[in-house]
C-alpha cells in the first residue's frame, strides 16, 4: 500500500488505457453537466507506464468527459497504483462494471427531496447534480405526495408516472381513472391529459354559466342536466297537442337552460388580390373556437301541463310505424354523434401529448430504424401535407424546436440556416425526418381519425415503433381498414342544425359523413 499515490492532475494529461468497456457514453448530458458543475467525485485509478505517463485503469468515462467539459478546479483526483498484471486488469474492469448497481428512481427522488428540504432550489439541484430540470421537477412533485411515493415502491412506477399521480393527488375520481389506466396497461400520459382537458372544459363551462346567470338566464349546473330529448322544449306539446312558441319558453313552469359545450371551426377568410397579406405577414390558419349552445328544457313537464310529442302520438293512437322508425334512427344518430364528440376530445388530448413527445424525439442525434425509408417515400410521393409545409417554410418544425420566428421570411431564413448548418450524415437524416413528421403533425386534426389515409397510418405506426405511447384513438386510427369498410360508399350527412340531445360539435370538414364517423 506504500506504493499508492493520491494526486490531482489535469485530465488532459491522462492516457486512456485498454478497457473491457468500449462504450463510454461520452454524450450523456446529465453526467457531463455533473462533472462540469461538481468535478469528478470518484477517484480515477491509474498506473505509470515505462515512460512515466499516467494510464487510466478504471474511470475512463470520467476521464474522457472531464477532458471535454472541464472541472471547477481544472483537475481530477487520481490514485496511482503499481503496473497491474494483465489478467488482474481485465478481471478488475469486468467486476467494476458487472457488479455496479444503479440507484432506483425512488432513491433518486428521496435524495432530491432531501436537497429541497435543505433549501436548495430546483434550479440549483439541477445544476449541482447534473440531473435534467424536468426530472428534478418531477421528483419534487412526487416528494409532496406520500401516495405517489408509495406507488413508486409498490407498483414499480417510473418517476414520470409517479409525478402524474402526484399531480392529481386529492382528486379521488382522477386517481381512480389513472390507476385503472395503469392496471390495463393504457398510456398514463394520455389519461392525464384527458383529465387536464376535462378540467379546463369544466372550468370554462362554469365561467360561462355564471356569466349567463348574472344576465338572468336560468342555467342548470352540468350535473343537473336532464335528458334533453325527453324534456327539451322542442319535443314538448301543450294540452292541445301544439308546440310551445319559442318566445314563450322562458315563461313555462320549470323552464331552464342547459349549456352544451362544443367547438366551431371557422372557415379561412378569403382575400382578394388587393387585400391579400404580404408573404411576410403569414396568414395564420383559424383555430377551433370553444362555443356554447343554449338548449331550453322544462324540468317538470307534468307541473307545466306539457307532454312529450311521442307520448301524445302513442296515447292518441296516431303513432305510425314510420314515425317509430324515424325516432329510432334519430336516437341512433344522436348516439353516433356523441361518439364523434368523444373521439374529437380524445384526439385533441392526444395531440397535446404527441407534440410534447415529438419535441423531445426530434432532438435525438441518431435517426431511428426505418427513418431513411420513410423520408424516401415522403420525398418521392410528395403528399399534400408535405407540399403545404414546404410552401410555408415548415412552421410546425420551428414550433416543435422551440424556435420563435416571425412571418414568412422569418421561417424561410430559419429553414435556410438549418439546411446549411454543418451536420453529420446521421444528424442531417434526423433533420429531414423532423421536417416530415412536423409537416404531418401540422396537417393533422380531428378529421384525421374520422377519415385516416395511408400516410396517417404510416406516420402513427412509425412513431409507435419509435417509442411513442399511442392513445386509444391514435391506435384506432393507425389500424388498416377492413375491406368491407373501405368498400362502403357513405351517404353525405347534413351538417346543419344540431337537435337537442346531441352534443354540439361543428364538423371541421364539410364533407365529413356519418358513415365515416361511425366507422372510425
φ/ψ region of 241 (left if φ > 0, alpha if ψ in -120 to 50, else beta) reads left
The model's pTM: 0.69
Residue 495 confidence (pLDDT): 37
Residue 491 confidence (pLDDT): 37
User: What is d(CA 305, CA 327) in angstroms, rounded to the nearest whole number?
Assistant: 23
b vs e for 352-388, b when ≥16 Cβ sit within 10 Å of the residue's Cβ? ebbeebbeebbeeeebbeebeebbeebeeeebebbee
User: What is d(CA 205, CA 31) in angstroms, rounded to the nearest whole number?
Assistant: 47
Could you say which residues of the chain have pLDDT below 50? Answer: 1, 271-283, 486-520
Cell output for 144: 409532496
Please, what are the domains in the chain? 5-98 (3.90.1530.10), 105-196 (no CATH), 218-270+277-319 (no CATH), 342-519 (no CATH)
CA nearest neighbour of 3 among 76, 79, 75: 79
Q: Say if residues 361 and 467 touch (Cβ distance below 8 Å).
A: yes
The Cα-based distances of 202 to 188, 199, 298, 398 in angstroms read 21, 5, 23, 32
CA nearest neighbour of 80 among 61, 53, 106: 53
Residue 404 confidence (pLDDT): 82
Residue 168 confidence (pLDDT): 94
Q: Is 296 helix (H, G, I), strand (E, B) or coil?
A: strand
User: What is d(CA 259, CA 297) in angstroms, rounded to the nearest whole number?
Assistant: 11
Q: What is the DSSP string of 219-243?
A: BPPGGG---HHHHBGGGEE-TTSPB
CA nearest neighbour of 312 among 263, 259, 240: 240
User: What is d(CA 140, CA 470) in angstroms, rounded to the nearest whole number?
Assistant: 27
**H or E stretch at 6:** strand 5-9
Amino acid at each position: 500500500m506504500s506504493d499508492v499515490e493520491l494526486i490531482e492532475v489535469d485530465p488532459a494529461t491522462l492516457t486512456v488505457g485498454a478497457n473491457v468497456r468500449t462504450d463510454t457514453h461520452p454524450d450523456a448530458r446529465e453526467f457531463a453537466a455533473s462533472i462540469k458543475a461538481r468535478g469528478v467525485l470518484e477517484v480515477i485509478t491509474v498506473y505509470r507506464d515505462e515512460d512515466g505517463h499516467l494510464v487510466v485503469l478504471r474511470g475512463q468515462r470520467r476521464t474522457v468527459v472531464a477532458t471535454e467539459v472541464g472541472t471547477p478546479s481544472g483537475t481530477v483526483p487520481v490514485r496511482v497504483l503499481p503496473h497491474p498484471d494483465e489478467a488482474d486488469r481485465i478481471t478488475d474492469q469486468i467486476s467494476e462494471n458487472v457488479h455496479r448497481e444503479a440507484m432506483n428512481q425512488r432513491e433518486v427522488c428521496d435524495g432530491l427531496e432531501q436537497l429541497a428540504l435543505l433549501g436548495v432550489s430546483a434550479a440549483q439541484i439541477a445544476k449541482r447534480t447534473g440531473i435534467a430540470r424536468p426530472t428534478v421537477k418531477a421528483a419534487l412533485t412526487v416528494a409532496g405526495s406520500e401516495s405517489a411515493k408509495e406507488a413508486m415502491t409498490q407498483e414499480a412506477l417510473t418517476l414520470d408516472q409517479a409525478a402524474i399521480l402526484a399531480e392529481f393527488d386529492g382528486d379521488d375520481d382522477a386517481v381512480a381513472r389513472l390507476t385503472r389506466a395503469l392496471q390495463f396497461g393504457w398510456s398514463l400520459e394520455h389519461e392525464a391529459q384527458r383529465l387536464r382537458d376535462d378540467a379546463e372544459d369544466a372550468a370554462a363551462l362554469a365561467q360561462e354559466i355564471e356569466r349567463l346567470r348574472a344576465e338572468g338566464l336560468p342555467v342548470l349546473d352540468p350535473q343537473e342536466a336532464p335528458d334533453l330529448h325527453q324534456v327539451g322544449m322542442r319535443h314538448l306539446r301543450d294540452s292541445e297537442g301544439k308546440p310551445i312558441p319559442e318566445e314563450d319558453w322562458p315563461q313555462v313552469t320549470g323552464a331552464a337552460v342547459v349549456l352544451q359545450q362544443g367547438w366551431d371551426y371557422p372557415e379561412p377568410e378569403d382575400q382578394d388580390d388587393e387585400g391579400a397579406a404580404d408573404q411576410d405577414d403569414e396568414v395564420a390558419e383559424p383555430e377551433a373556437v370553444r362555443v356554447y349552445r343554449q338548449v331550453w328544457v322544462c324540468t317538470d313537464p307534468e307541473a307545466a301541463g306539457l307532454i312529450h310529442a311521442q307520448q301524445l302520438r302513442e296515447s292518441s293512437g296516431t303513432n305510425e310505424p314510420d314515425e317509430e322508425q324515424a325516432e329510432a334512427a334519430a336516437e341512433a344518430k344522436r348516439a353516433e354523434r356523441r361518439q364523434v364528440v368523444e373521439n374529437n376530445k380524445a384526439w385533441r388530448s392526444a395531440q397535446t401529448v404527441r407534440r410534447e413527445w415529438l419535441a423531445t424525439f426530434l432532438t435525438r442525434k441518431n435517426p431511428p430504424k426505418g427513418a431513411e425509408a420513410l423520408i424516401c417515400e415522403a420525398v418521392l410521393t410528395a403528399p399534400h401535407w408535405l407540399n403545404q409545409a414546404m410552401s410555408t417554410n415548415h412552421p410546425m418544425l420551428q414550433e416543435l424546436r422551440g424556435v420563435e420566428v416571425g412571418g414568412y421570411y422569418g421561417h424561410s431564413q430559419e429553414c435556410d440556416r438549418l439546411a446549411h448548418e454543418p451536420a453529420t450524415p446521421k444528424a442531417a437524416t434526423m433533420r429531414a425526418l423532423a421536417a416530415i413528421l412536423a409537416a404531418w403533425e401540422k396537417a393533422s386534426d380531428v378529421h384525421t381519425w374520422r377519415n385516416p389515409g395511408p400516410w396517417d397510418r404510416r406516420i402513427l405506426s412509425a412513431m409507435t415503433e419509435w417509442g411513442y405511447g399511442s392513445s386509444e384513438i391514435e391506435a384506432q386510427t393507425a389500424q388498416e381498414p377492413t375491406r368491407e369498410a373501405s368498400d362502403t360508399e357513405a351517404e353525405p350527412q347534413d351538417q346543419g342544425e344540431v337537435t337537442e340531445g346531441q352534443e354540439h360539435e361543428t364538423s371541421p370538414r364539410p364533407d365529413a359523413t356519418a358513415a365515416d364517423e361511425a366507422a372510425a
